[in-house]
Every structure is written in C-alpha cells, then in structure tokens.
Structure 1
Amino acid sequence: MAEKKLKPYEIGELDHYLFGQGNHYEIYKKLGAHKVKNGKKTGVYFAVWAPHARSVSVVGEFNEWDMEANPMERQEPLGIYTCFVPGVEEYAMYKYCIETYTGEYVFKADPYANYAELRPGTASKVVDITDMKWTDKAWMDRRIQWNHTEEPVSIYEVHIGSWKRHLGREDEGFYNYREFAKEIAKYVKDMGYTHVELMGIAEHPFDGSWGYQVTGYFAPTSRYGTPEDFAWMINYLHKNKIGVILDWVPAHFPRDIHGLSNFDGTPTYEYADPKKGEHPDWGTKIFDYGKNEVRNFLISNALFWIEQFHVDGLRVDAVASMLYLDYGKQDGQWVANKYGGNKNLEAIDFFKHLNSVVLGRNPGALMIAEESTAWPKVTGDVEEDGLGFSLKWNMGWMHDFTEYMKLDPYFRKDHHNQMTFAMSYAYSENYILVLSHDEVVHLKCSMLNKMPGIGADKYSNLKAGYAFMMGHAGKKLLFMGQEFAQLREWSEERELDWYLLAEEEHLKMQNWVRDLLHLYKRNKAMYEQDQSWEGFEWVNADDAYRSIFSFIRHSKNNKKNLLFVCNFTPVARDDYRVGVPRRKQYKLIMNSDDAKYGGTGEERPEVYRAVRKDCDGRPYSFAYKLPAYGVAIFEF
C-alpha cells in the first residue's frame, strides 16, 4: 500500500531515519511549533520527541490549558508526537503535557521552541521566524572568504542585561535588542573591537546563572525582546561591520521541572546513570552524547544560530567538563570508559562531528573552545585526530598573567617566567588571550583591584598589563567594563559603573585601551602571523631583575613591524637601551607617559635612530627614557 503523500511540514520516514542517525541538521524546522496552512485552515503544527511517554497532548492559551483538547499522535520508530491545531495565534503560550510511563503528568516547555514567556513564567510561545528581513548580504558574502588566522579578532564580551540599563524605570530597565544594537555598535566602533561576544542569549530561567543553565536552546531570551528583534540586532551589527559570537552551552542543563531534565519521565536528553549524567558541583544534568537524537539536537542547534540567525561564531562553554568523565567528581562519582580511562569518547566524537559540520557548511564562521586543560589538538584538524575548533581560549596564559600582575613589583623578578612561558606553547593551538567575566566575579576583584599598590600605581600597572596582552601572540578578548577600569566586581543585577568615566583616571584608561585596540586592528604585524613563530620575536625575555619585557611583532613582508617595551616596576629607567634587528629609524607611536593616558606628558623625540652598539645580543640598539610602569611601542 502506497504511503500517503506528506505535507511539507509533516514528519516522514526520512526525517525519522536522519534524526535517528543523528544527521538531521535542520530538524528544528520539523520539531517544535510551526505556523502552517492545512488545506483552508491556518494553525500550528506541533511536534515533540518523547520516546518513553505513554501519551502527549499540547496545552495552551488556545485550548484553556485542557489536557484532553489536543492529543498528539505517536509516530514510530522514534516516538515523535505530532498534531495540527487550527487557529492558534502568534505569541500564544503553550506546553506539552506528557504522561510518563508511571502514569504521572508533567508539563514541559518545548525543547525546540523559538520564543518563551518572560521569566518567572515557563511556557513556550508560538512565533514564526521563517520570514526574517535580512540586509547583511555584503557581510555574509565577505564572511565566506574570511580567514580568522590572518585577520584581527578583538572581542568585547558583553552581558546585555548589565552593560547599560534605563535607570529610574519601574521595570528592570533592560535595553531591548534594538536599543542595545544601536548603543553597542557606536561604542564598539569607537573603541576598535572587531566582535562582540554575547552572554546569556539562549532562554534561561535564572538570571544568576548568567545564561549558562539553558532551558530554551532554540529561543533568544525574551528578556530583551522577540526573535525578530534579536535578528534585527544581528543585522544591524553586521551592517556596522561588527561580528557576533554567542556563548553556547552543550555541556549541561538545569534540573528545572519545565526543562529538558527527565523530559518524558525518563532520562531523555541526559545520561541515565547519575555517575555520567550529573555534575555534583553544579547541580546540573549532562547531555548523553552517545544518543544520536541528543547529538542531533545539539548540532542542529549550533547550525540554527549560525544559519538561521546569521551569528558569526559560537564560544563553546565548559569543553573540559565534556571531555573528562571525572571532571569535578571524586572517586566513586564517575564511570570509566570502555578502556578504563577518564576520556568521554562519545563527547570527543561529538565535537569532531559538530565542528566538521558547522565549519564545513559555514566557511568563515568560528567555533571557539573554552577548554582549560592541556588536551592536545583542540584546534587541530579532525582528519589528524584533532577536535576541529577554530580557536581556543588560552586559560594557561590568563592564569599566569593575572597571578603575575597581582604580585608586588618587588617580587615580580622571581616570577618573570610567568609572563614568558605562554610563548613556549603559543603555536600548539590557535589561541585567544582572554580576560573574561570569570576573572572579575566571586571575590576575584575587578582587573583594576587585582593590581598592587595604591592610587595611580594601580592604573599604571593595568595599562602595562593591557599593552603586554595586546602585543602578545594570539587573538584578544576583554570583558565589558575592564576597558575603563571598573572598580567593583561585575554583577548581573546592575549596569556597569559608567559614571566612573567622569573621573580622569578612568577616562584615560579607556583612551589607552581604545588606542591599543585601534593599533591592533590597523597593524598586520599584530595579527596576520598569529599562528607562526615568524610573527613574534623576543628581544629580551630574560630581564627579570628589572622586570622589563621587550619583543617584536613582525608582519609578513616585514615592511611595518612593531617593537614593544613594557616595564612592570615603579622604577624609571632614564637610559633604557634596547637591542634591535636593524640599523633603522624607530618611530615612537604609543607611549604610556602621554598626558592623554594619565602620564606626565613629558616631551619626547618621535624618532630614535639605532646605532652600532651591542645590546640584548644584537649589534644595534637605541636608548629610551622608560618611565615607571612605562610602555613604549615603536614602529619600524
């Protein structure tokens, strides 16, 4: 008997097959709630995967939340439930009522919903995202040709709800997506960042999780507007030549009763064994990467953000927690793999599949790993047993850098290698140097208050640190507020302390960071050889006694190179001599002693000519008056 002809939105045998294999990369177009026309009737086609449910019905505003009004039909072999409900309006709230195998009833938000009720409400909302208006073709066309390894990448990490707020309003005062887009585009262009990385976009119930405990993987959070508003924001940023990266959390999900946890009354999305399926420290559930439908859910979700919403990259959170079965667990709390080891073989395979598909389908997009261990080949090719990421956060550099910067300058000479060590492995992966939100919360202090000393010394220390970071090999990321020396730790409950910019030292810190970012963006020496030893050269990595570092960044053609000299003590060196590779002129292009950065403003020569005089193991050198905590950047 011939199979009945399916309507375009209906789920057929091929959908079941691909989903069951884990290869239905656009399954989000079939599962979830989709506005359709069925004959002469318009309405919504609902579809949900609940393999161990006894029955499922859809309940919502359109049927008075009646459990019996709209029963769903089970489709085999995977246990996908479907139904068409005529007359359902845009933004109507709904949930799935699932009868579990024990006969209990649970009400679940739609895992594939594109919109959700504003918390503390937990219902999903019907919305049509098939007709978004995009005018960013020029950006998207260029992205196909874009090669991150040879381009500048300086990322401004932002939490929308606490970057700026409308003060004095009765509600929380959040900027909506459109307001935020206009404000952040202006600011990012002025400061010189190339990308924004947005925290907490996928729907989440608890503000204090910062968006890292997700219940709506396919829904931009309703805190800041509709999915259409979210698309408008991406489009606007692209038209202003700003890339957009989202934080993405495939490592774990919360136990909230309306979310993915025990979705059909059994561990549907998580590992069934609690020793594999739960994070004891975080109180969250771990995705079952061995289950094809779960892998498909996550891979299609990554593609959803990049293809449906034109997002330029995903920063994948907590990668180490996925790779290691014993991550955050004591003996007896975890189960070894089939070889007796602590590697999660299913998660490794998942990453290879994920990155191959996402980057294969979307040239120029970025997949960024927040991976905190020495796992090899995180950014290596999948064909060579790498994980296939584009970039990796350099957590080792971040740890060494912040520990060094916190030291009293007197003791820095004994820890000199903490600032040079990262260059010994800088080309083992494609790295981003990060000073992220994680470094300015939980009593870790703001970046400024990590600095030793009092008053002006703190600001001078931080300026030297930022210059060293910008000159060092690797892409860059800085969390919001640290560019103007935010005093307080970050809190998601309030906006940044923008009023500080009325004070001279904060304004001058912002001037310094702005000029460093523009210097980075306009000088190829700073980025085009980030993955090559030829791009970075120490002049003197061993001046521990004086705690001074000098190094060169080389462009490919060596036409325009940069020499950095950074002094990390309060001792001025009135005749600091630095060795140089050629008997050329060296033009001073940035000087931390400039008045606009909070320095003395002392007049200095703009050009220094190298002479034949041995220094730093080189035949040529020149002398420069290097102030306390001074930074000088020369072009040659």
Structure 2
Amino acid sequence: MQRSLAVTTELKILAIDPYLKPFEKDLQLRMDRYSSHKKTLLGQYLDFKSFANGHLFYGFHLVKEGWYYREWAPGAEELHLMGDFNGWNPETHPLKRKEHGNWEVFIEGRDTLKHTSFVKVRVKANGKERDRLPLYIKRTVQNPETHDFVGQIWNPEKQFMWHDTKFRVDHTSPLFIYELHIGMAQEKEGIGSFKEFTDTILPRIKDAGYNTIQIMAIMQHPYYASFGYQVSNFFAVSSWFGTPDELKELVDTAHSMGIVVLMDLVHSHALDNQMEGIYGFDGTDHQFFHVGSRGNHPAWKTKLFNYGKNEVLHFLLSNLKFWLEEYHFDGFRFDGVTSMAYHHQGLGVNFSDYSKYFSAETDLDALTYLQFANDLIREVRPDAVTIAEDMSGMPGMCLPVKDGGIGFDYRLSMGVPDLWIKTIKERRDENWSMNQIWHELTCHRPQEKTIGYVESHDQALVGDKTLIFRLADQEMYWHMGKNDQNILIKRAIELSKLIKFLTITLAGEGYMNFMGNEFGHPDWIDFPTKENDWSYKYACRHWSLMDNQELSYADLATFDRETIAFLKTNKVMQADDLVNLWTEEKDNILAYKKSGLIFLFNFNPTKSFPDFALPVEEYGEYQVVFNTDEKQFGGQGRIATDYIYQTKLLSERENKYGFAIYAPSRTALVLRKL
C-alpha cells in the first residue's frame, strides 16, 4: 500500500515546534487518518464542497409539480409526514424506503405545503411510534394551540435579496470581536429580536469600533436558558429571535457596515430530548451519537456525536456549508473543541505536558472531523474565519492542515481570564507579579494565532462575576457617579482599564469583548428559570447606563472605543516586534515595546514615580500619545501629553538609552518616537 505524503515528508509542524519531535509518529498517524478517511469519505466527489450537500437533498424541496421530502433514518420501520396540510393525518403521506437508509415522499401541488404551514413526521421503530421534527427542517416554532414545537415550512413568496456580494473578510486587519446574544441585547426585560438588534444595537457596535460580531444561540434550542448550547435543530434559525429573513437582514446590514459576522457553532454535542432534537430519530441511540456512557457528556447532560461515522460527517459538514451559503456567515467560533478532542472531554485534566495531547484519550475521529470542517469552510469561503474554543492548548490547533495542524485561524486564549480572576482573588494589589502576568499573556504556541480577552459570557454568568464587578462588587450600584469619590470604585475603574489595555496589546492577534462589558455592565447574566420565577431582570443589557454622561460607565465606554481606535491606527495587534524593556516586581512596573511604540504600566496601588528611568531601544525624542489617566476616561489627567522626552544613557538601567518620566500609580501610558 502506498504510504501517504504525511509519512514520507516531515511535517512542517515539527520544524515550527521542535518539542513535538518525540510525538512524530502520533502526528503522522493523525495525518494518515486524515488522508485515508478523506479518500473514503469523498469517494467520487472531487472536494468537500461537492460532498457536503445533505441540505440540498434531505428535507423539503420545491419542484415544478410539488414537494419532495426526504429523511435519513436507517433504523426506522415506517415514516409518515403529517401537518396542517393534511389535517395531521398520519396515514395519507407515507415515505418510501430507498437505498442506504433514505426515505422519500412526493407531495403533489406547489401550494399543498404553504409558507408557514406546520409539519411533523411520525417515525415507527421497534414497534413504537413517535412524532418527530424533520432532521433538516429550517424553522421550528411552538404550536400556538398545543404549545409543542413543530416544524414550519419557510418559503416566502418574495425571496430575500442580498446586497453583500462584494463583502470579504480582510485578514490583514485584526479582529475586534463583539460577542453577543440577540435575546439579551435589549434593555427591556424580555427577549430581543433580530430586527431590534439590527436597528438599535448594530450601530452601537459600529460606533464602538468593533469590526466583528460573534453571535451566540443562532441554531434552534427549545430551552432559552441554555444560552443556545443545547441545540435541537441544526438547520433551523432560533425562533426565539425572529424569522430566517430577519437574520439575513441582520447579516446583510452588518456587512454593509464592514462588520464580519461569525456564528457560535455547536458541533460538540446536542440536546438529548427526543421530542425536539435529533437524538433517537430513527429509533436507535446510535444514529448520530456514541452508545452507552461514551455518548453522554457527564457535565452538560447532552449527547456526543460519533465522528467516526461517515453519515454523521455528512450531516455536520453539510450544516457548515448551509450556514455559510444560506445566511452568509463569515465563519465560526467552534464551541467545546476540548470536549470534542478528548474522550475525557478535558474534565479535571491538567494539560501539563505534551504527552497529554497524544494518548489513548485523544479522539482522533473528532480531530479528523475538525480538519475536514476547516477544509470545507475554506473551499466554500476562502476568506472565512475559524476560531477554536480549546482550553487544552493542543499543538497545531491553529496551523494549516497541510502542515500537520487542525486548520483553525485562531484559538481563544482561555487561560487569560483565569489568570486575572486568580490574581484578583488571591493576591493583594501590591503583590501582583509582573513577571507572571507577562509570561501568561505572551506565552503562545509558535506561529499559532490567538484571540485575547479578559472576559467572555462565561465570566458574566450568574455564580461568577465580570471583571469590574469582581473589583467593585455592590459599590457599583450606588457610587458610579462621575463626582463620587468612592475609593473602591476608583480602584475598580483604574485596574479594569489597565487589565484590558494590557490584555488587548499582549494576549493575541485579535481581541474579544462580551456585550456590555466594554462599559462595565454591573450585573451578571441570569436567564429566566423556574428558580428565579422566570424573570428576565438579569437577561438584558442596560445601555442607558452607558448613555448617561453623569455616570462613569460612559467614561469606560469612551476608553474602550478610543483604545480600539488607537490600536487600529498604530497597527499594534499585528506587530511582531514585541520586546520586554523593563520589569520591576517590587514596584509593579512593566514596560515593553511593540509596533514601534513604548508601553509603560504602573500597577502600583499607592506609589507614583516622579522620575522613573524608562529604558527604550533607540536614541531620539519621544512623546506620550495615549494614556489611561485622561479625564475623558475617568482619570485624573496627571500625564503630560505635550512634553518631549530626550533620551540619554541611563546608568541605573545598564547604560541603555532612555529618559526619566512621571509614572502615576495605576496608570498606563504609550510613547512614540518623533
């Protein structure tokens, strides 16, 4: 048998990361499986784009004489289509069994299935009958009479007209990602809609300087409080927020503003409910998922896909292509990649050495699927963006497949929020370690890009705390007036600005913020549940706090906006000239150079340094061009922006070029060489 190219040629990943050399056979095995499985899967198809068309065959399709409805249900004995079109009669429209577990029925008449009509399919298996939602249904809603979820035909007479044909992702510009949830994007205590978001929130995001939105909970999920992570219908737009056309309008409008639209994709697990989800559709527990304990996520109580089955790969890959082409998404943030990549789901495992990535616990089928997924996405949209939510730090996650990687563009720097939480909780302010913070923020896998962030929706959930709420706690409810001199609020504002500014400049090639955190939203997220009497009080965003110019929330929003504008103008995120200029542990000082700029942070809670000797690499004149202490940011205005600093040899800094500069406590400043 001819050996694959992956074996006969050394993988580039080994040259990029020499520490992987002891695991060369594991990497070669990964690539052998990729090559052999790809050949078997595609068969006569030339590429993934030609293969991943399940949504164009299964489900409901209108032709000249009527409608075709098809399903894949190899374990079923009978299937019967029913709905309001036939009086919910389970006998009149039986599906015929075809080859390879497929079923089909033709419904005569183009008007037989009308736009918005309700449908279900009765599946008989093991002698029992269940009424199920079609696997490829594009919309599900609650029946106003019975209150159960039903499939809905979506075929409006006037088809949506796109205006974004020329929109492309600019990979030369860093991503400034705004993570969001449509339902809680409104100030009202209720569920926001796609239309409300398009009209009122998109302009806010544009004004704030973010060039990318990452939308949660797009795929249909019956339990609103699941945050969209328990998907029932993978091809259906969440009816909590509106119609498919209203989602298209949102994406089209975002593109007109130059905003990239990413989908928070859940292919790591699925809802275990047989009434609304895909689990057990054909009467078996193995149609899509592993059987027994391997098919159940112990923490999430959901079902785990069997990525070793070609039919499952066909379903999931078709799902990716569907969202890219039907709704013009520009890429995906893959949820739960760690759970996919290991049989132990990453639970309770400390990835302390490379052997943890290459063991019997590594799910090679899942890694192959992720490689296939990235290949397909590039075939459909060469400019698309893919981001992995992987807390394990698996080597090669963000390297091209051809080099031995998994193929993602970025991984989320999930250790950074943990760093800040641990630092705030366990250390007094004066004991924060600048060396540890520098190491954690700058230690990245070689040639693999990351998205840095201080907090995502995870840190905002009830039971946890956002950054500023962790710093200020309940004082935020009473002392956020600009003229209020509360010492806890002053500390919280100063530290939150420093933490965000340091993270955004060091922790990755992109940056992510969760909706509302840019202005220090004071509340956690608590979706309506039985435990809180189905209240929406904490499932919304109070934009009026940011709009009120008498409150410090407005200053924090201004700081966030001006920070992004400054970083864009000076191309800080994409710079590769990072140099640590000085680290002073006992005084909480950190200085570095990036993009030709000099950054100086003083985290000291009490000490200001009137003549701090700041070493720089080059001789010349320097001037402050940005600082966190500006009054428009809620600062005290202690840093001079018109003074010109002339370098000299600093004997106290090993005769490096530099100058003496005033560094007030809890401030950061940036200088540019003139």
Q: Could you tell me the TM-score, scaled by structure 2's length? A: 0.82
- Tell me the distance in 1 between the aligned counterparts of 2:79 and 2:45: 23
What amino acid sits opposite 2:587 in the alignment?
A: R
What's 1:96 paired with? 121
The answer on 1:27 being equivalent to 2:54 is yes
Whether the aligned pair in 1 keeps the contact of 2:466 and 2:524 (CA below 8 Å) is yes
Pair 1:403 & 2:422 matched: yes
Flag the 1:22–1:268 CA change in 2: closer, same or farther, 3 A: farther
Picking from 534, 538, 542, the partner of 1:497 is 542
User: CA distance change for structure 1 residues 191 and 51 in 2, over 3 Å: closer, same or farther?
Assistant: same
Structure 2 Cα separation of the partners of residues 612 and 415 of structure 1: 26
The answer on 1:477 being equivalent to 2:512 is yes
Partner of 2:633: 597
Contact residue 174 and residue 509 of structure 2 kept, 8 A:
no
Q: What is the deviation of 1:326? A: 1.5
Q: Quote how far apart the aligned CAs of 1:237 are.
A: 0.5
Is the 2:324–2:380 Cα contact (8 Å) retained in structure 1?
A: no
SS in structure 2 of the partner of residue 315 of structure 1: strand
Q: Contact between 2:621 and 2:644, CA under 8 Å: does it hold in 1?
A: yes
Q: Is the alpha carbon distance of 1:504 and 1:76 closer, same or farther for their aligned partners in structure 2, counting shifts above 3 Å?
A: same
Map of 1:266-277 to 2, 5 A cutoff?
266-277=284-295
Deviations 1:115-141 (A, max 9, x none): 1114863111111389431111221xx
2:135 to 95, 106, 111: 111
Q: How does 1:6-45 map to 2 (within 5 A)?
A: 24-38=51-65, 43-45=66-68
CA deviation after TM superposition for structure 1 residue 82, in Å: 3.4
Residue identity matched to 2:510: K
Whether the aligned pair in 1 keeps the contact of 2:597 and 2:670 (CA below 8 Å) is yes
- The match for 1:162 is 184
Secondary structure of the residue that 1:71 maps to in structure 2? coil
Give the direction of change, closer, same or farther, for the CA distance of 1:273–1:522 in structure 2 (3 Å limit). same
Question: Partner residue of 1:263?
Answer: 281
Displacement, 1:108?
A: 1.3
Q: What is the match of residue 179 of structure 1?
A: 196
Letter in 2 for 1:384: D
Contact persistence 1:583–1:609 (CA under 8 A)? no
Which amino acid letter does the alignment assign opposite residue 325 of structure 2? E
The residue number in structure 2 matching 1:8 is none
Per the alignment, residue 69 of structure 2 pairs with 46
Q: How does 1:437-586 map to 2 (within 5 A)?
A: 437-451=457-471, 454-472=488-506, 473-492=508-527, 493=536, 494-501=539-546, 502=548, 503-524=550-571, 526-529=572-575, 534-540=576-582, 542-554=583-595, 561-571=596-606, 572-586=608-622
Q: Which amino acid aligns with 1:217?
A: F
Counterpart residue identity of residue 164, structure 2: D
Which residue of 1 is the match for residue 4 of structure 2? none
C-alpha separation in 2, matches of 1:73 and 1:384:
46
Q: Distance in 2 between matches of 1:85 and 1:123?
A: 22
What is the alpha-carbon distance in structure 2 between the residues aligned to residue 191 and residue 588 of structure 1? 23
Q: Give 1:405 deviation, angstroms.
A: 4.0
Runs of 5+ consecutive residues of structure 1 not aligned to the other structure: 1-13, 332-338, 555-560
Separation of aligned partners in 2, 1:15 and 1:620: 61
Q: Give how far 1:226 is off.
A: 1.1
- Aligned-residue Cα RMSD (Å) equals 2.6
Q: Does 1:128 align with 2:155?
A: yes
Residues 251-260 or 576-585, more deviating: 576-585
Residues 430, 604 of structure 2: 8 Å contact kept:
no
Cα offsets for 1:196-248 (capped at 9, x unmatched): 11110111001111001111111111122111111111001000111111100
Q: Is the 8 A contact 2:187 2:543 kept in 1?
A: no
Q: 1:22 to 1:232 in 2, by over 3 A?
A: closer
Aligned length: 587
Q: Aligned-pair distance for 1:431?
A: 0.5
Q: Which residue of 2 aligns with 1:302?
A: 320
Find the residue that maps to 2:281 and give its secondary structure. coil
Instruction: Please name the residue that 2:668 is paired with.
Output: 631
Q: Distance in 1 between matches of 2:281 and 2:380?
A: 31
Mapped partners of 2:654, 2:68: distance in 1: 74
Give the direction of change, closer, same or farther, for the CA distance of 1:329–1:551 in structure 2 (3 Å limit): closer
Change (3 A) 1:596 1:154: same
What is the percentage of aligned positions where both structures have the same residue? 25
Q: Do the aligned partners of residues 271 and 223 (structure 1) sit closer, same or farther apart at CA in structure 2, a change above 3 Å counting?
A: closer
Give 1:22 shift.
Answer: 11
Query: What is the alpha-carbon distance in structure 2 between the residues aligned to residue 611 and residue 431 of structure 1?
Result: 35
Q: 2:271 aligns with which of 231, 237, 254?
A: 254
Change (3 A) 1:495 1:424: closer
| 2:624 aligned to which of 559, 581, 588 | 588
2:185/2:201 contact within 8 Å kept? no
Following superposition, the deviation at residue 415 of structure 1 comes to 6.7
Which amino acid is 1:535 matched to?
A: D
Q: How does 1:426-441 map to 2 (within 5 A)?
A: 427-434=446-453, 435-441=455-461
Q: What is the DSSP-based 3-state SS (H/G/I as helix, E as strand, rest coil) of the residue aligned with 1:613?
A: strand
Alpha-carbon spacing, 1:165–1:509, altered in 2? closer, same or farther (3 Å): closer
1:79 aligned residue (76, 91, 102): 102
Residue 411 of structure 1 deviates from its aligned partner by: 5.0
Paired residues of 1:413 and 1:546 also in contact (CA < 8 A):
no
| Distance verdict in 2 for CA 1:349–1:602, change over 3 Å | closer
Deviation string 1:363-386 (CA, Å, 9 cap, x unpaired) is: 110111000102110011212221
Alpha-carbon separation, structure 2, partners of 1:178 and 1:440: 25
Higher mean alpha-carbon deviation, 279-288 vs 43-52, is at 43-52
Q: 1:118 to 1:617 in 2, by over 3 A?
A: farther
Match of 1:9 in 2: none
Per the alignment, residue 24 of structure 2 pairs with none
Within 5 Å, give how 1:138-153 maps onto structure 2. 138-139=166-167, 142-143=168-169, 146-147=170-171, 150-153=172-175
CA positional deviation for 1:179 = 2.5
Pair 415,594 (structure 1): closer, same or farther in 2 beyond 3 Å: closer
The structure-2 alpha-carbon separation of the partners of 1:499 and 1:397, relative to structure 1 and needing over 3 Å to count, comes to: same
Query: CA–CA distance in 2 between the matches of 1:368 and 1:500?
Result: 32
**Do the aligned partners of 2:434 and 2:589 also contact (CA within 8 Å) in 1?**
no
1:603 to partner: Cα distance:
6.3
Q: Paired residue for 1:208?
A: 225
Q: 1:443 to 1:343 in 2, by over 3 A?
A: same
- Alpha-carbon shift at residue 109 of structure 1 (Å): 1.1
